[in-house]
Chains A and B, each alone.
Chain A
Amino acid sequence: MFRIVKKEALNPTVSKMVIEAPLIANKARAGQFIILRVDDRGERIPLTVADYDRQAGTVTIIYQIVGATTMRLDRLQEGDQLADFVGPLGKPTDVEGKKRVAVVGGGVGCAIALPVAKAMQQAGTVVDSVVGFRNRDLVILEEEFKAVSNEYRLMTDDGSAGQKGLVTDALRELLQQNEYDEVIAIGPLVMMKFVSLLTKEYGVKTVVSMNPIMIDGTGMCGGCRLTVGGETKFACVDGPEFDGHLVDFDQAMERGRTYHAYEQERCNLLKKEAE
């Protein structure tokens, strides 16, 4: 069992949990993920490692309450236990040898973008960050991003915080001003798709972090497969990071909707239960 050491709501739909998992904390690196199960009848869901503390033996996850499992997860409190917590899975981010990068985070994807930005900054890379949210109430990790960024651009859909507009608006400006070795985009598939289209215009290498449906996370089920440059890849073992210019995002979006109807039904059940 894996104890929840700390739980904190970052905004109305996004929460942070610090989990006691010393072996995983000892090995985790930016870009990797874990798989958890809330309880014995629970499904296995992948979540990217948001942070880790090797001394304290803890791993931090940040999740958005979007489906039945994250609803169930969010009902747990500090001191409660997760049934299963396994990792670190996937390949870590390649942080070596980059002079300047732009890190783009969208919504809860910022939770995954932050450790990447942090690892890059620690490796001596100049990091410019662009983060986007729907509105000011949803903004998370602002201070944390500022701490590791040379430049920090906050975008909201309605202009209630930072600038009004999309992350691609701010990124276009940065691409015009600066030379980047790489752009790292982490967020909704549609955001990563449009960031990749933009950076292609500028010929800047772009890395995206894919978060498809998976079960085991070790290459066994193949449920997480996606098409990259015409080839089938498994996000769990070949990724989760891929070349954004080669990923078939439209296919990934359709595959992500495979269990949409089921998920809705489960969520409604849970909501009724809670009432």
Chain B
Amino acid sequence: MANMSLEKQKMPELAPDIRNKNFEEVALGYTPEQAVEEAGRCLNCKNKPCVGGCPVQIDIPAFIQKIQQKDFEGAYQIISASSALPAVCGRVCPQENQCEGRCVRGIKGEPVAIGRLERFVADWHMKNATAVPEKPVSNGKRIAIIGSGPAGLTCAGDLARKGYEVTVFEALHVAGGVLVYGIPEFRLPKAIVAREIEGLKAMGVKVETNMVIGRVLSVDELFEQGFDGVFIGTGAGLPRFMGIPGENLKGVLSANEFLTRVNLMKAYLPDSETPIQRGRRVAVVGGGNVAMDAARCAKRLGAEEVYIIYRRSMEEIPARAEEIHHAIEEGIIFKTLTNPVEILGDEHQNVTGLSCVEMTLGEPDASGRRRPVVKEGSRHTLEMDTVIMAIGTSPNPLIRSTTPGLETNQYGCIVTEEETGLTSREMVYAGGDAVTGAATVILAMGAGKQAAKAIDEKLSK
């Protein structure tokens, strides 16, 4: 008989007032008892709506059944058949819009905590599993993966499992892409990303850091070096700014720069050589996950007041529900229906304030969300010393400008065949944010997976 509780097992978490002063992981994970209890809430439906909501189609009811039977390794095997990065996805997927959003239990009460269960299984495996993944027998074919973010790592893992000799090229000095430079330690510990990458290496995947493809080697040169196929998973790394006066003042940073200093360069640690401005009053412009990450980092660096400045309302805000919930708990102040029009500075070009206007919501626009309209006479100034722009990113032009014949669209995104990820160049595939523009980890993984399948079908013909 299923556990008919209407609520999920609560996730053990660090207290907000303690955690907003350190970088330790916020959510502590289920105990085995909690996991088994929560797994009991799954009705094991025949038509499995949750699986349809998962971009990599994990057999969710099957792994949850294994948890019910306390066969945690069995559960891991089911997840890892579909997902290369379970410990990551369990932590950062927007489950409310995917698997959990379709869960039957969610019709009356809360859905099954699929994300938390996935995380539990992956963490259990990391802690307890002893079997080293075997290096598959090589099929002699070589694939180059450009970018070591979620798309690239997934594609690499799937191809390595099939016997391809895979080399992943990363521009930065650490592999992991946005998982390392973007998502903070308190949400996704870097040791977990490193473990997932070690797993890929054990399967024979080579990872070459400090390699800016497009500069040090071009895509064409990769083919000359004997690679049989190339997958481009270079993400959307180019930060956008608003184009308002004062954006080049000292104290205005892109979220990318701020988060890279914090997460990749570990600027919050005393022995890191990388500096960071520790703002007292910080405004983060934007309402996505990146904005939440930046705001919560700023708080942890000692800011007295941190604001989220978002031009729509809490109804439209795009960040994951859990991130918003955590941010509010940690004391982040949400100023919605507010839009910056100018950043003010002193004679030394230090930020002193953010001039904003209030917005109201009009008719729905092309995105289906109600369009924000400026409220007349609402201009006002908020005192700030730091402004972080988290209003989105676009794909880096480095690959497209150095790869002749690679078709891109007006936004600079690589054009691909939807089912396969094939680009306008033969044996060049692409996926993730480089194709879609900034999206989620799991969608990038789904694209990496599709491309791996297509590459394999093409090369095993």
Main SS at interface, chain A: mixed
- Which of B76-84, B125-133, B268-276, B301-309 touches A? B268-276
- Which of B19-27, B248-256, B326-334, B421-429 touches A? B248-256
Interfacial chain B residues near A84, Cβ < 8 Å: 173, 209-210
Q: Which residue of B lies closest to A39 (CB)?
A: B273
Check if A266 is an interface residue, CB within 8 A of chain B. yes
> How big is chain B's contact interface, by range?
35 or more
Per the bound structure, the CA–CA distance linking A43 and B250 in Å amounts to 19
B257 touches A42 (CB 8 A): no
The residue from B171, B253, B274, B275 contacting A86, defined by CB atoms under 8 A apart:
B171
Contact mask A212-229 → B, CB, 8 Å, 1/0? 000111111111011100
Contact mask B100-134 → A, CB, 8 Å, 1/0? 00000000000000000000000000000000000
The residue from B247, B257, B273, B396 contacting A43, defined by CB atoms under 8 A apart:
B273
B260 touches A215 (CB 8 A): yes
Per the bound structure, the CA–CA distance linking A87 and B271 in Å amounts to 26
Interfacial chain A residues near B396, Cβ < 8 Å: 218-220
B257 touches A68 (CB 8 A): no
A221 touches B273 (CB 8 A): no
B256 touches A86 (CB 8 A): no
Most central of B271, B275, B396 by chain A CB within 10 Å: B275
Interfacial chain A residues near B210, Cβ < 8 Å: 84-86
B274 touches A43 (CB 8 A): yes
- Which of B7-15, B234-242, B352-360 touches A? B234-242
Count of A-B residue pairs with CB < 8 Å: 108
B272 touches A215 (CB 8 A): no
Most central of B181, B250, B266 by chain A CB within 10 Å: B250
A27 touches B349 (CB 8 A): no
Check if A89 is an interface residue, CB within 8 A of chain B. yes
The residue from B171, B216, B247, B273 contacting A23, defined by CB atoms under 8 A apart:
B216
Check if B458 is an interface residue, CB within 8 A of chain A. no
B215 touches A251 (CB 8 A): no
Per the bound structure, the CA–CA distance linking A219 and B412 in Å amounts to 14
Given A41-B271, A220-B239, the answer on whether A27 and B248 have CB atoms closer than 8 Å is: no
Contact mask B193-234 → A, CB, 8 Å, 1/0? 000000000000000011110011100000000000000000
B256 touches A220 (CB 8 A): yes
Interfacial chain B residues near A220, Cβ < 8 Å: 181, 237-239, 256, 260, 396
B171 touches A221 (CB 8 A): no
Most central of B247, B274, B397 by chain A CB within 10 Å: B274
Which A residues are within 8 Å of any B CB, using their own CB? 23-24, 27, 37, 41-44, 68-69, 72, 83-89, 215-223, 225-227, 232, 237, 251, 254-255, 257-259, 262-263, 266
